[in-house]
Structure 1
Amino acid sequence: MKQLDVKLYEYLLGKLPEITTSWLAMRKVEKDSIYSLSAHPEMEETLREQNKFTNLTVISSLLDDPEIFEKNKIEWAAVVALSRVNSNTPIEEVIKALSKLRITYWRLIKKFQLVNADEIKLEDYMRWSETLNNAFDQIYISFAETYNEYINSKFDVQQSLINELSSPVIKITDKIGVVPLIGEMDELRARILLESIPEKSLEADIEHLFIDLSGVTVIDTLVAQQIFQVTKVLSLLGTKCTITGILPAIAQASTELGLDFTNIQTFSSLQLAFTKEFLIMEQ
């Protein structure tokens, strides 16, 4: 590591509070942004702490050991990306904030160059430019990748919860349950249905399960196959299954696919099924 690089590293290290203060001073009043000048004081303190981490990461790129920067970059991205996902901060706001921080660095390096003009050559300035700009580019990429991982993970958890709630097994007697399916039924939801309903029925000790499709807006033959598989699994577990609200077109298509529903009770409506099973009295 060149002596001048050590000198710049130590100079920037000693300027950490000034870098953060200069960066925060560039804020403007922005609605619903953690980077807003009008943000809560607690958020400003969080930004100060995280900006210090950002600066330590960027400055570590000046060291001889690239593994130090790489380690810092990964840890920094994990902390800041999670924080921005939790605060619902758009990724473009973070990139904009990092770009402002980059400007702060070059202002300081210009001051450093003025003080050490006799020692600094053009090749030194070019080397720092390449190193620090590359460091910022790398943390942009690392942040974006980690941010997207957190967002996708959060989406998967939410989608799983939605799917879980969209196929409830409701007990109407000690041994009888109903699964009222509502909305669009795609292949993914049908597969989750296959995985969750038999397990829920066992947990609830259901002996007769009614699967009501009357509230389903869209259902195709692939989904019909999954529902047929649900009935087969339930049968193997000793649970009787009745399907209600199935459309004639789907019933016909299912037959053409070789899905034999002849051993499964089907009714045009849940009310009719309950009437036939004497769960409700005919009017």
Structure 2
Amino acid sequence: MTPDEIKSAITGWSNQGTGLQLVEDRSEPGADFVLGLRSAAHGSAGTVPVEVRLDQGGDRLTVTSRSTSAAASSEIRALLDSRPASVHGDTSSDGTVITSHVYTDGFSKHALTRAVDEVAKTRALVDGLADTAGAGRSVDSGLGTATGTGLGVGAGAGLGAGAGLASGAGLASGGNAGEDSRPAEPSWSQASSLPSSSSFPTPASSLPAPSFGSPTPTPTATPASGGYSPLSGQPAPQAQPASSAFAPTHTVPPQGMQAWAAPDPNGAVVATLGGGLPIQITEVRGAWAHVLCSNGWAGWVDGRIIGVAH
């Protein structure tokens, strides 16, 4: 391809989905053409300027872009070494010139766009080093100020005062301030011996037997109930055979119940049976029930409360 054909091709490929923009076409001594392009492939703040040059009598196009990054040359060199072998870079006081080549023998759209993209990408990466370095210096500066000022004051004043205290100026001398600031140490006393087992109440082996009260001539005493009317009259006896040994048949309700010496509502209440006490029914007379306790005590209760009478 002739230089004019190559130039025409590059001009036609610009602005056709390649990410290239033709912004300049100039003539320079010793060059067939110099085209100024901008690549939108890797620009973080817009397009990246790229120059394409074909020297007179040359067999390759030179694609270049110059970065004025303020990053350290060692950082730039490390980045350039990590890029593809087709991309080169030269750093000087004027900046870093990034270069790639496209040979005219077999020149194609793919070869050109690839070279332009690699140069533009490398230029964007080198420019980014400057931003990273600037941010790092800002952070270092901030940390240096904090370290030199804040920590220095802390070391000189706070820690220095702490050292004075640690030397025993207050504590070792027994000063009031040192003594007051120390928390009181807990005093430990040996626990007293555990109380002997005789100190604790032991459960009774059996429920208490009803306590007998002396009969009193109080004719108005009536059996306790949950709301029934007092018995009137003496019911006819209904004898039941008594067993030879105590065999509980019922238990006293939780609220307890009163007991009489005889099935007579006008008689005296002789005992109050505790709730849960086992009892044996030995006889039923109407609404009355004759009960026997385990200790041999016997008396009469309201049989309706324990469900043996109606």
**TM-score, normalized by length of structure 1?**
0.29
Bigger share in strand: 2
**Structure ID, larger Rg:** 2
**TM-score, normalized by length of structure 2?**
0.27
Bigger share in helix: 1
Higher relative contact order structure (alpha carbons within 8 Å, sequence separation ≥ 6): 1
